[in-house]
Amino acid sequence: MATGKINVSVENIFPLIKKFLYSDHEIFLRELISNATDATLKLKHLTSIGEAKVEYGNPIIEVKVDKDKKLIHITDQGIGMTEDEIKKYINEVAFSGAEEFLDKYKDAEKDAGIIGHFGLGFYSAFMVADKVEIISKSFKDEPAVHWTCDGSPEFTLKEAKKSDRGTEIILHIAEDSTEFLEDSKIRELLTKYNKFMPIPIKFGTKTETLPKPEDAKEDDPAPTQEVDDIINNPNPAWTKQPSDLKDEDYKTFYRELYPMQFEEPLFNIHLNVDYPFNLTGILYFPKLTNDLNIQKDRIQLYQNQVFVTDNVEGIVPEFLTMLRGVIDSPDIPLNVSRSYLQADGAVKKISSYITRKVADKLNSLFKNNREDFEQKWNDIKVVIEYGMLSEDKFFEKAEKFALYPTVDGKFYTFEELESKIKDSQTDKDDKLVVLYASDKEAQHSYIEAAQSKGYEVLLMDSPIVSHLMQKLESSKENLSFARVDADHVDNLIKKEDTAISKLSDEEKEKLKGEIEGVITEKGYTVQMEAMDSSASPFIITEPEFMRRMKEMQQTGGGGMFGMGNMPEMYNLIVNTNHELVGEILNTKTAKKRERLINQSLDLARLSKGLLKGEELTKFISRSYEMIK
């Protein structure tokens, strides 16, 4: 038997491992099973090239918990280790990064990236165990070996009696980590981190029902048998070729990823690239709500089928974090900090590749089945609009498939829209004005006024629409968006011919003063406008610029304008050519004039959805009185 000291000059390495990684100490199981998987896959490779003269067979990794003895056993049937290899890989190589580890982290905050980053994967065992044993038999014709360490730099190494190939690691669980002796906890961790590992993982047994024999009676119970409980799927869908998968396979895999998700995904994108980096995966477009925050952290990141994280910001472009699915890349380190990932060159390439791939898939879906794409538009538009805002390359590609729906349920690409409206909706300054509504019901009268002029009105109701319009206006020449209630329709698209007012300038000034006197508390800016006599007498509008800045500020951005706490601002446009407006001007008594102004204003407010509460009650009472 040999004894010795692990090759590290600082004796307090174990307390440091425990201290710095305590917040994430559950990863010990992931690390040890990753090592077992590597050992098994190495054996597979060596047997395939004839270097290992053994039968590979159907190896499994087994995890066993002995609650009474406070032990966890992790056993593989992989390559195994000789005495010299244990000395090299466990006592020396694992600690080659120890000095760097101490220098970098002794005063640092906790960082979940320490262990994998410094080659200390095996030693994560000491986060939960106060003693660890390794019993290993190499595929080479050499004696088995037994290594023991109690969490100090001392170890013992002796020959073992193990006859079958592979490695068993035995953890003597520490008093502060007994939660890991619960079957339910181990099952939870295996499901979280190792659900798709490439080697079958056995954890206990389960009862399986067998077919009844032909001569069995109807009320005879079906026979059962105990079988190994393999808790992972070693061949998940993303490891297969797209040509080998059908639609149902993708849906089945989605249910496997998200067992509590009952809605089917809208469509999927299979990623498969081997240059300039390796990446596979499947992304799903789920049905999305307008709440951008609820959606995130649904994509799972793997490294060689080992779960790393579901916080993929920095790896996946931010607008795609609302999707679901899996990304697997051996080029992404298993354990590193987020700042490291975001600065990593390979990761940036991965991010731009995924952006391009998603854009190409959306374009092909649009081209191949436009009708289906239009039907799904409302469920996917938030992702696409967010992508157009945040990624310039995606913005360029989205020109081909981003849709602009109208209030009547028609869909146009921007090019189609431009072609449709340029003759009727170009103003006197040669600017194309795109009219839109954000709420069909609330803005109904304004939509009707625009449509009566032959104008097309878009329905743009996503939460980031103000930001998107700003981006479109700045990227295209002579384009502006105007919500239908931002002004009277004649002012939204100003043409050369302006209507002549029936009222003189003096009469307009006098009437304006009378109206301002009555509505002094209401906070409206009164504008006297000569419009068609069939247009409403009073119209309330909300200035496009002010309202849009306020909306942008509320959804992030536009804050420099300081609009966040501003009161709502409205214009009251008075149609000087309407018969009722002339009557208000010529009314003999102040009382009747005040009543007509208030009634007209309230009708305009009702049309705009601004008449509520006590004022609505008073308006209804007053209207009944007038009818009588």
How far apart CA 269 and CA 383 sit, in angstroms, is 14
Residue 35 is labelled as binding a ligand: yes
How far apart CA 401 and CA 382 sit, in angstroms, is 14
Q: Is 420:408 a contact under the CB 8 Å cutoff?
A: no
> Of 458, 377, 396, whose CA–CA distance to 425 is shortest?
458
Name the burial class of residue 291, with classes exposed (0-12), middle (13-18) and buried (19+) by CB atoms within 10 angstroms of its CB.
exposed
Q: What b/e readout covers 530-563, taking b as 16+ CB neighbours within 10 angstroms? A: bbeeebbbbbbbbebebbbbbbbbeeebbeeeeb
What residue type is 455 in one-letter code?
A: Y
> Of 296, 271, 124, 263, whose CA–CA distance to 193 is shortest?
124
Q: What is the DSSP string of 239-266?
A: GS-GGG--HHHHHHHHHHH-TT--SPPS
According to DSSP, the β-strands at 404-405 and 324-328 are unpaired
Where helices occur in 338-391 by DSSP H, the ranges are 338-343, 345-368, 370-390
Q: Per DSSP, what are the bridge partners of residue 499?
A: none
Where helices occur in 430-486 by DSSP H, the ranges are 444-452, 465-475
Q: How far apart are the first and last CA of the chain?
A: 111
Residue 76 is labelled as binding a ligand: yes
Using a CB cutoff of 8 Å and minimum separation of 24, what contacts does 122-125 make? 122/31, 122/32, 122/35, 122/90, 122/94, 123/14, 123/17, 123/94, 124/17, 124/21, 124/25, 124/27, 124/28, 124/31, 124/32, 125/28, 125/31, 125/32, 125/169, 125/171
Q: Is 144:161 a contact under the CB 8 Å cutoff?
A: yes
- In whole angstroms, how far apart are CA 75 and each of 34, 41, 72, 133? 12, 14, 10, 12
Residue 81 is labelled as binding a ligand: yes
Residue 96 is labelled as binding a ligand: yes
Residue 269: phi and psi, rounded to 5, are -130, 120
How far apart CA 235 and CA 154 sit, in angstroms, is 41
Where helices occur in 113-219 by DSSP H, the ranges are 114-117, 183-194
Residue 78 is labelled as binding a ligand: no
The tokens for 520 are 């002094």
Residue 469 is labelled as binding a ligand: no
Q: Which residues are annotated as a binding site for ATP?
A: 31, 35, 76, 81, 96-97, 167, 338
Q: Which residues are annotated as a binding site?
A: 31, 35, 76, 81, 96-97, 167, 338
